[in-house]
Amino acid sequence: MEEMRTHGMQNVVLSTKSLADYASVVGDEVIAELRQLAKPLQGARVLHISSTAYGGGVAEMLHTLIPLMRDAGLEAEWRIISGTDDFFAVTKSMHNALQGMDLELPPAARAAYLHANVENAVYFEDEFDYVIVHDPQPAPLRMLRAGDKGRWIWRCHIDLTAANPTYWGFLRPFVQMYDAAIFTLPSYVKHDLEIGKVAIIPPAIDPLSPKNAPMTQEEAASIIQLYGVDPKRPMLVQVSRFDPWKDPLGVIDVYRAVKREYPAMQLVMVGSMAHDDPEGMEYFQRTKEHADADPDIHLLSNLDGVGNAEVNAFQRSATVVLQKSLREGFGLTVSEGLWKGKPVIGGNVGGIPLQIEEGKTGYLVETIEQCTDRVLDILRHPERAKALADRGHEHVRQNFLSTANLRNYLRLFNELAGRPVTEQVPATCAAR
């Protein structure tokens, strides 16, 4: 693969979104509250920095959050750091180690990580009132730009509960340079992190984006047929990067066990190849080998033209949506499935229990056997499964839509500017 050698950060071009359009989903009051919170922030310059504009939950969210910030009157931008393949190999190891993998951190890896950050820092121009740096890849930027004005916020999307101490020890001094850090859950905050402010903000999905917008069953059926999937037969669907933590091999085992009782069952696994995820292709190959040319297992990716509308169609056609993760920061795909009124079975890890209350809005599982039993249960009792899915949809509407995400950021900006916001908001969404 050719190495990317552009210097410094690249701007991401964004579409336009209007808060008013969301009133039909969340109600006028929510939109009025957002406008109120944004009043003191008119014209504030905001920069989000991340490592990819495509593939994965962070990119997914920023494509909505930033246009909504603009519509609320902030001057928000998004830039992507540049880096070589070596850099992205190191940051993927860092991601794995911070999720608990036992990995070494050799000097060459530290050097590659710092070198890329130095390059991004020295070419960085402009001043911002708020800079939000997403995840570990660009974390050292604050230290490297220590003289810059503005409030700097580190947004961690990872579950750090079992973080490898060597990697966390290396990262922590960079994070401590920030004015604030955002985590998805209180339990993700490391006890030794010394920082002025910690906010707890769960991620969110965009109910109006092509991935989640309404789509009829007929439209969905006509899309999935193009990929050789039969809309008349039952199917399990997991939409996830091909990554060991998403357990694609386990998902195939679940499908095989279910297929013994339901021979018509199909399995669709959709996984985009994010440019900051060099493991993707290798794990895709392993998954393909495990699928062993079963014609009812469909492994698809963006390379097959599966984009947002196609993901929407597959999720809407699913009999059961799976997210059988072994580790998960949040798992946007769980909310995506629930939003579409589907029964969702998720791994009992990370942010998934925030979205799935066992037996109420879906099922939580820890093993292949449990997951198989739950799938069979849903297939045998479709009415009960529908009730779960409907409650799940409402839970997402109240807690995990982009409007809640915007509100939490606006509250945090106000607080950092010395204007604390006092109204009560649901505990899961409140800045701490």
In terms of Cβ atoms closer than 10 Å to its own Cβ (0-12, 13-18, 19+), residue 128 is buried
User: How many separate helices (H) and strands (E) can be counted in the chain?
Assistant: 16, 13
Nearer to ligand UDP, 178 or 242 (CB): 242
Nearer to ligand UDP, 151 or 316 (CB): 316
Distance between CA 322 and CA 344 in Å, rounded?
A: 6
Min. distance of Cβ 60 from ligand UDP in angstroms?
A: 4
Min. distance of Cβ 178 from ligand UDP in angstroms?
A: 21
Min. distance of Cβ 420 from ligand UDP in angstroms?
A: 30
Binding site for ligand UDP (CB under 6 A): 56-57, 60, 211, 239-241, 270-272, 301-302, 306, 311, 330-333, 336
What is the per-residue burial (b if ≥16 Cβ within 10 Å, else e) of 181-193? bbbbbeebbbeeb
CB 220 within 8 Å of CB 317: yes
Distance between CA 111 and CA 374 in Å, rounded?
A: 47
Min. distance of Cβ 328 from ligand UDP in angstroms?
A: 7
Nearer to ligand UDP, 239 or 313 (CB): 239
Starting at the edge strand found earlier in the chain, the sheet holding 235-239 runs: 297-300, 266-270, 235-239, 320-323, 344-347, 363-365
Distance between CA 184 and CA 412 in Å, rounded?
A: 14
Min. distance of Cβ 338 from ligand UDP in angstroms?
A: 12
What is the per-residue burial (b if ≥16 Cβ within 10 Å, else e) of 137-155? bbbbbbbbbeeeebbbbbb
Min. distance of Cβ 114 from ligand UDP in angstroms?
A: 25
Nearer to ligand UDP, 151 or 327 (CB): 327
Any idea what DSSP says for residue 205? Answer: B
Nearer to ligand UDP, 83 or 347 (CB): 347
For ligand UDP, which residue has the nearest CB?
57
Nearer to ligand UDP, 333 or 414 (CB): 333
